[in-house]
Amino acid sequence: MYTYDINTLKALFKNILAANVTADVLDWLLQKSNFNTQFVLAPRKTGKAALQISEQEAQQLDTILPGVSLNGWTVDMLGRAYLLLELDETDTEEYFRKIENLFLAAEVNELVSLYSSLPLLAHPDMWVKRCAEGIRSNIGNVLEAIMYQNPYPQKNLDQSAWNQLVLKAFFTGKEVGKIQGIDNRANKELAYVISDYVHERRAAGRDINPSLWRLVGPFIDDKLFDDVKWAFESGVYVNQKAAALALSQSNYPTATELLNTAPQLKAAIEQKELTWDTLTAEFQH
Amino acid sequence: MCCTHSFEDRISQDKDITPIDLSGIKGMKFFDPHVHMTSRTTDDYQAMADAGVVALIEPAFWLGQPRTGLDSFRDYYSSLIGWERFRSSQFGIKHYCTIGLNSREANNEALAEQVMEMLPLFIYKEGVVGIGEIGFDDQTAAEEKYYRAQLELAKEASLPVQIHTPHRDKKGGTTRSMDIALEHGLDPRMVIVDHNNEETVKEVLDRGFWAAFTIYPFTKMGNERMVEIAKQYGSERIMVNSAADWGISDPLAVPKTAALMKMRGISDEDIRLITYQNAITAFAQSGQINEADFTGDGSTIDQSQRFEGNTVLRGGQQPRIDKNSIIIS
């Protein structure tokens, strides 16, 4: 069972593919032959050029499947995604077995294609464990396929798996701002784990990623306030700015008071001159 | 696949030590077409990258401990096209592999049958540049059976073959390996005969095969001997590799051999052919090697390895640590 209009999506993908591959290759993709072989051989047929997609097509896609983007995809990835959409999803067990088998013997680019395609698959709840398994990977581009521009995790993962995803992103130096739902799915449990993590980093004398405070801000209480205050008063400007942003996310009275001691930062936040995005751009360069 | 060492081999080592001087090969690029990175540390990757190794081939081999089940093979093959590929990319080295059932484990026939059934699942994967390393170890009937079966597979898939020649009865085993390959109708230009020495090289070249030399202390070629081979036979269809693995071996064998060749008067062009180009020419017959992926020039670079057109590789690069400092932070 698809949770979106599969036929419209297939028609759109077919159009995009037609603009990116020759007619022969398109025929090869559309013919139904051995599924595994087609999946493996796709890059040899389609090539691996960056996918060309029009503004209009991108908007259509966002209408059919909000949050899904083909930005950064290569032609072979879309070819593989299309093959997945051709599978018969009505026999649930068989559908699961076929796709799971691809994961079990996948090379890196196949893994990237498969994880990037999670939001396109039928029976979304069926892939939760697979997604959590992908987060356990240490292969950087596999993690990015799950974390960046992928709406599947935020929609389907339970809280503990979600929290693992976010923590793994920090541990592996990913840009957490690219994780869909990073703010919507923030939770107190995660804020507390992050507080412990910050204490560990401080004890080790290691840098603290300013983005961490983004997940703490909305849950500031007595305990978390001390952490944010430490960052605010750390003497490192980028940390102070991050702490100010975190304070601005909180209604906790002491937090508001502390933010009021830095009227310039407060004004910058109110005027959207200082946001998590501008801050990220600043410390990642 | 490699070998065991005896202590007698190591006794006569108190000879002159020539300090490493790689300055003569600064700026050269190297391709190591046989190295078992699974058995090596990240320090080796860093050292190889620093010495100019830009790409390598990891043949599937015997892990030092026999596998007892099919899933162990599957996970091993998956690691060659998955985790190891990523590990390598973090150091800017393009990782290819060859996939096959090695000769030792061909002797477990019940398991070998299952592995043979599974191989087609892996040999068509991206970056699989051949069937290997296959051939003879003990030269048993079972080894011959699966060697032949895999030659057929290579032919069907139009993939090059990387042949491991045996340690014991090397000369006879090498001749026999080539006889069988020809019997199955393989073009010798699609076959890389590995672990050659002074005794085997002439026949291998005369019969039109590629001759690979493994620079590996105590048991295979030394690089001084390799220089002499290059002087005698030139650079046509000759390549060197390290076959570095879990034994006492050297992942810098290719750049070190290039440096020694340079010091001893081999031309830059011959060095380039022997330590870089010939391996690419031989294995690119798989259709799976795009030189631009590791030379970094041109727009044909594999875009799937980049994120949003950024020049930063997906997955990021490894930070450097100062190995000479006693401080670890």
Q: Is residue A98 a part of any domain in this protein?
A: yes
pLDDT digits (tens, 9 = 90+) for A104-115: 999 999 999 999
Same-domain check for residues A229 and A115: no
- A24, amino acid identity: D
Q: Confidence band (pLDDT; 50, 70, 90) for B325?
A: confident
Same-domain check for residues A163 and A202: no
Same-domain check for residues A141 and A202: no
Q: B304 and A112: CB-CB below 8 Å?
A: yes
Same-domain check for residues A155 and A258: no
Alpha carbon of B200: minimum distance to chain A alpha carbons (Å): 36
Same-domain check for residues A97 and A210: no
Alpha carbon of B120: minimum distance to chain A alpha carbons (Å): 9
Same-domain check for residues A130 and A103: yes
Same-domain check for residues A87 and A190: no
CA–CA dist A9, A29 (Å, integer): 16
Q: Is residue A152 a part of any domain in this protein?
A: yes
Can you give the pLDDT at residue B290? 94
**Model confidence at A43: pLDDT above 80:** yes
Same-domain check for residues A12 and A51: yes
Contact A15, A54 (CB under 8 A): no
Q: Is residue A52 a part of any domain in this protein?
A: yes
DSSP secondary structure letter of residue B276: I
**Model confidence at B111: pLDDT above 90:** yes
Same-domain check for residues A170 and A210: no
pLDDT digits (tens, 9 = 90+) for B45-77: 999 999 999 999 999 999 999 999 999 999 999
CA–CA dist B69, B110 (Å, integer): 10
Last residue of a domain, one of A145, A176, A207: A176
Q: Is residue A41 a part of any domain in this protein?
A: yes
Same-domain check for residues A139 and A265: no
Taking contacts as CB-CB distances below 8 angstroms, the residues of chain A near B74 are: 104-105
The answer for B 241-300 residues in CB contact with A (under 8 A) is 287
Q: A140 and B74: CB-CB below 8 Å?
A: no
Q: Is residue A181 a part of any domain in this protein?
A: no
Instruction: Give me the residues paired with residue B95 across strands.
Output: B56
Last residue of a domain, one of A154, A176, A198: A176
Assign 3-state DSSP to chain B and report helix, strand, coil percentages, each to 5: 45, 15, 40
pLDDT digits (tens, 9 = 90+) for A178-189: 999 999 999 999
Domains in chain B with CATH codes = 27-292 (3.20.20.140)
Last residue of a domain, one of A176, A206, A227: A176
**Model confidence at B327: pLDDT above 90:** no
ipTM, two decimals, is: 0.83
Give the closest of B82, B302, B309 to A111, CB-based. Answer: B82
CA distances from B62 to A32, A180, B99, B105, B223 (A): 38, 44, 12, 7, 25
φ and ψ at B226, to 5 degrees?
-65, -40
Same-domain check for residues A34 and A132: yes
The total number of structural domains in chain A stands at 2
The token duo for B282 is 């031989």
The model carries a pTM of 0.88
pLDDT digits (tens, 9 = 90+) for A51-96: 999 999 999 999 999 999 999 999 999 999 999 999 999 999 999 9
Q: B305 and A140: CB-CB below 8 Å?
A: no
Same-domain check for residues A135 and A168: yes
Longest dimension (CA), chain A: 68
Q: Is residue A30 a part of any domain in this protein?
A: yes
Contact B263, B257 (CB under 8 A): no
Domain range for A37 is 1-176
pLDDT digits (tens, 9 = 90+) for B120-131: 999 999 999 999
